[in-house]
């Protein structure tokens, strides 16, 4: 007797199948694979030995998971998604160890997507149908195309942010509802000589800067930021062109479009920040409350979650 469902035409050689998992017709699971509880493996799925699958995973028809693949809890893999585990495959020539690919919890892989070896798909990321993923995908990112590029971010486990904060009310500051992050509308003075915008400490600028840096000449497909600070505060202004800023406190996230030089985003400590969708002429000014300290950075999102939600 088993505690999972196995269709009569499925071949299950593994003894490590979780409770209430359903294995449908023409599925083949090799002996070394580990499958969690409450999973659903649809027709014509093949799972090799060195494969680890968490709980509540759905794998649709026509998917093959090769040695070196880890699938965490609550992942969805669409029909005919293709995974690879050897960057230089040759017939009858095998590497000493296969490059490991990791799908973090809650990620979704669209139909016919191709995932190259050694890639990590971040938690709750969404891979579009037919995308060819050639490098790591950040948590909550939405990627499409060939090669796959970031097109947006989801703001919770299921939905994309529907409203970008780009044209706020005339209030000088607006709470974004994410870890104390705020959007500031800075003064704008216009006359025949041109335009001027400013901020002073205590008036629009919430800290005294100790450092500034500029980000520019960023190819539109690239992503910047992707870190948090333990102590340092930041204030971001796109002084030319435009870019999008994602702020994330580990529970909530939202997206801000900086498309005017009198808009500024305040990032407190322990808020994860991402900047992407740079226009060709974008120049991002960042003011920082502290001098550079490598130890103040948190660059791994899983580590950030552990520290912000102890």
d(CA 180, CA 170): 19
Q: What is the Cα–Cα distance from 16 to 4, expressed in whole angstroms?
A: 11
Q: What letters, b where the CB count within 10 A reaches 16 and e where it falls short, cover 94-128?
A: eeeebbbbbbbbbbbbbbbbbbbbbbbbbbbbbbb
Q: How many CB atoms lie under 10 A from the CB of residue 92?
A: 4
Decide: 63 and 77 in contact? Cβ < 8 Å. yes
> Phi/psi at 288 (nearest 5 deg)?
-125, 145
CA angle 244, 247, 250 (to 5 degrees): 150
Q: Which residues are catalytic?
A: 227
- Compute φ and ψ for 305, nearest 5 degrees: -65, -40
What are 75's two structure tokens? 């992942």
């Amino acid at each position: 007797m088993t505690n999972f469902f196995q269709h009569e035409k499925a071949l299950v050689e593994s003894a490590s199948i979780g409770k209430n998992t359903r294995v449908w017709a023409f599925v083949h699971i090799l002996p070394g694979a580990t499958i969690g509880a409450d999973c659903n493996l649809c027709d014509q799925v093949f799972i090799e030995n060195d494969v680890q699958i968490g709980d509540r995973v759905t794998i649709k028809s026509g998917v093959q998971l090769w040695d070196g693949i880890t699938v965490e809890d609550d992942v969805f893999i669409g029909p005919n998604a293709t995974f690879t585990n050897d960057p230089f495959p040759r017939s009858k020539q095998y590497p000493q160890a296969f490059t490991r690919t990791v799908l973090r919890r809650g990620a979704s892989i669209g139909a016919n997507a191709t995932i190259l070896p050694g890639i990590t798909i971040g938690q709750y990321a969404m891979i579009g149908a037919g995308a060819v993923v050639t490098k790591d995908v950040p948590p909550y990112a939405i990627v499409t195309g060939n090669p796959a590029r970031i097109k947006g971010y989801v703001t919770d486990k299921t939905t994309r942010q529907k409203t970008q904060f780009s044209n706020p009310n005339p209030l000088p500051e607006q709470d974004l509802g994410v870890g104390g992050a705020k959007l500031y509308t800075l003064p704008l003075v216009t006359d025949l000589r041109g335009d001027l915008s400013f901020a002073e400490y205590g008036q629009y600028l919430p800290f005294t800067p100790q450092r500034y840096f500029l980000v520019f000449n960023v190819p539109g497909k690239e992503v910047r930021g992707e870190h948090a600070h333990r102590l340092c505060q930041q204030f971001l202004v796109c002084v030319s062109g435009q870019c999008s800023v994602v702020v994330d406190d580990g529970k909530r996230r939202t997206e801000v479009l900086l498309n005017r030089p009198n808009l500024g985003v305040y990032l407190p400590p322990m808020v994860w920040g991402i900047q992407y969708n740079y226009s060709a002429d974008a120049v991002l000014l960042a003011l920082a409350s502290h001098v550079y300290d490598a130890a103040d950075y948190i660059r791994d999102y899983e580590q950030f979650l552990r520290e912000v939600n102890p």
